[in-house]
Amino acid sequence: MAAKKLYESFSKELIEEVHRWGSMKQTGVSLKYMMEFGSKPTPRNLLISSQFLHKELPMRIARRVIDLQTLPYGLSLKPAVLKVRDWYLDSFRDLRSFPDIKDENDELEFTKMINLVKVRHNNVVPMMALGVQQLKKDLHPKIDYKDLDEIHQFLDRFYMSRIGIRMLIGQHVALHDPNPPPDCVGYIHTKMSPLEVARNATEDARSICLREYGSAPKVNIYGDPNFTFPYVPTHLHLMVFELVKNSLRAVEERFVDSDKVAPPVRIIVADGLEDVTIKISDEGGGIPRSGLPKIFTYLYSTARNPLDEHSDLDTIDLATVSTLAGYGYGLPISRLYARYFGGDLQIISMEGYGTDAYLHLSRLGDSQEPLP
């Protein structure tokens, strides 16, 4: 019955094709390769890139469809998850029904089509979050989060794969820009200043804090302003924004009724030979040791949840849900972004004092994408 409901609107042939493509071997790409290949966006290179994506994207999307249909605790049948599954199946069908790419015209048509695929998937994160909310409402409160490991692992795979799909499509589309910004190769900035990105992300996080609390702690940033390295600025912005936002909230809530001036959040950017490390330190009271394992799960958040479980799929305006804020996805998704290009995110806490977040970014750029 469940399987029937999962697929009643799709042909048997399409589902068989999904399973066939889902078992094929995916190909990972490194930041270094994307940068070197994209530095010469000739029509021939764009043709090669589109032919690669024509084969690669259906494999990656098919795997996610298969994953979406086999989730535990009835998560596969939640209305929000069915909606996400439909988006993935529609995209798989669009890619598979596109004919072989033989010339420049085909390539331009293909680029338009995959850009529409990317737009179709814009709201996947809040929609999956809503599905998990719908599940949480039904689960017995006595179920321990540890028992939901399978769901956490699925969401890690699912979101990591989504980062990869969006990077590959976005990079290919951006290479068509006739006037790219200086030092940019698609999404990659070859001379990105981590200090500058951290400053911009901090301003964004402080403005949210000001809106929410009426005040915001100071943020002091230390590091070499002239240091640059190749990276994807949007990825770094998202990670630093998320970490600074958490720190500001912790400090603000700890000192809200205090006569003392709230201590500043400190950001230190260090450039090592292998890694660029960004440390974000706050004196917001820290996290109890028992709570640390929970901070990277998708079913835990200390913030108000903008996706209230009473939300109806048709009435929820996903556009108004501030990026990652509040539904407990900021830290786990930031860690996936760090790991996507061979970095990592670690949180070390002193309960009663504060928290240090260490964001490691690989400077070498030669690690392959993780392929869940």
Do you know the residue count of the chain? 372
Identify the pLDDT of residue 309. 47
Q: Which helix (H) or strand (E) holds 47?
A: helix 43-68
The 10s digit of each residue's pLDDT in 251-296 is: 999 998 888 899 999 999 999 999 999 999 999 999 999 988 888 8
318 versus 210: the higher-pLDDT residue is 210
d(CA 331, CA 3): 33
Identify the pLDDT of residue 305. 52
The 10s digit of each residue's pLDDT in 349-372 is: 999 999 999 999 999 877 888 888
Mean pLDDT (whole number) for 163-179 = 95
Please give the full DSSP string across 226-292, using - where no structure is assigned.
Answer: T--EEE-HHHHHHHHHHHHHHHHHHHHHHSTT-SSPPPPEEEEEEE-SSEEEEEEEE-S----GGGG
Q: 2 pLDDT exceeds 50?
A: no
Identify the pLDDT of residue 323. 42
- 193-362 adopts what CATH topology? Heat Shock Protein 90 (3.30.565)
d(CA 184, CA 248): 31
Mean pLDDT (whole number) for 165-186 = 95
d(CA 85, CA 95): 15
d(CA 189, CA 183): 6
Could you tell me the two tokens for 186?
A: 């698609």
- The angle formed by the CA atoms of residues 200, 204 and 206, to the nearest 5 degrees, is 115
- In Å, what is the CA distance from 238 to each residue of 185, 205, 230? 19, 10, 16
- 11-183 adopts what CATH topology? Butyryl-CoA Dehydrogenase, subunit A; domain 3 (1.20.140)
Identify the pLDDT of residue 258. 87
Report phi then psi at 192, rounded to 5: -75, 130
315 versus 234: the higher-pLDDT residue is 234
DSSP state of 26: P
Mapped onto helix, strand or coil, the DSSP state of residue 53 is helix
Q: Roughly what angle, to the nearest 10 degrees, separates helices 330-340 and 233-254?
A: 150
For residue 277, the cross-strand partners are: 270, 360
Contact 170, 186 (CB under 8 A): yes
Could you tell me the two tokens for 299?
A: 């079913």
Q: In the block, which residue shows the tokens 């692992």?
A: 153
d(CA 349, CA 356): 6
d(CA 128, CA 68): 10
Could you tell me the two tokens for 151?
A: 């769901």
The 10s digit of each residue's pLDDT in 113-127 is: 999 999 999 999 989
Could you tell me the two tokens for 55?
A: 């084969």
For 26-30, 210-214, 268-272, 305-309, which range has the lowest pLDDT when averaged over its residues? 305-309
The 10s digit of each residue's pLDDT in 38-96 is: 999 999 999 999 999 999 999 999 999 999 998 988 899 999 999 999 999 999 999 99
Please list, in sequence order, all residues whose beta carbon lies within 8 angstroms of the beta carbon of residue 64, skipping any fewer than 6 positions away.
88, 158, 161, 162
d(CA 253, CA 245): 12
Identify the pLDDT of residue 253. 93
Pairing mode, strands 184-185 and 188-192 = antiparallel
Mean pLDDT (whole number) for 155-180 = 95
The 10s digit of each residue's pLDDT in 176-228 is: 999 999 999 999 999 999 999 999 999 999 999 999 899 999 999 999 999 99
For residue 125, how many C-alpha atoms fall within 13 Å in the half-sphere facing its CB?
25
Of 371, 276, 372, the closest CA to residue 29 belongs to 371
Mapped onto helix, strand or coil, the DSSP state of residue 344 is strand
Identify the pLDDT of residue 320. 42
Contact 33, 368 (CB under 8 A): no
- Domain residue limits, the chain: 11-183, 193-362
